Amino acid sequence: MIIVIIFGALSILFPPEQLIKKEKPVTIKDYILITGLGILGGVIIFMKINNLGWIGYVISILGGLIIILLSWLILTEKDE
């Protein structure tokens, strides 16, 4: 943990130079991957909290949707 704090402080003091960003077009594979990982995340959440009853279903579905939506937002983000 101390190493992470030290490197975090160093990255603030000495920021990297301008990075060249290569933007690739978003493909259908990206959307399939995001959806698959969101479903997998929802299943993992459900496996951990399945003893809560019906609320476990709701929490896992909402968790999977949040994973999918945030991943989609990050993927389609436009830097200006």
To the nearest 10 degrees (0 to 180), the angle between helices 28-49 and 54-75 is 150
Report residue 58: phi and psi, to 5°. -65, -45
Q: Model confidence at 19, in pLDDT bands (50, 70, 90)?
A: low
Tell me the pTM.
0.68
User: What distance separates the 2 farthest-apart alpha carbons in the chain?
Assistant: 51
Each domain of the chain, given as residue ranges in start order, spans 21-80
Higher pLDDT, 23 or 25: 25
Q: What is the mean pLDDT of residues 23-50?
A: 92
CA-to-CA dists, residue 60 to 9, 39, 40, 57, 74, angstroms:
36, 9, 10, 5, 21
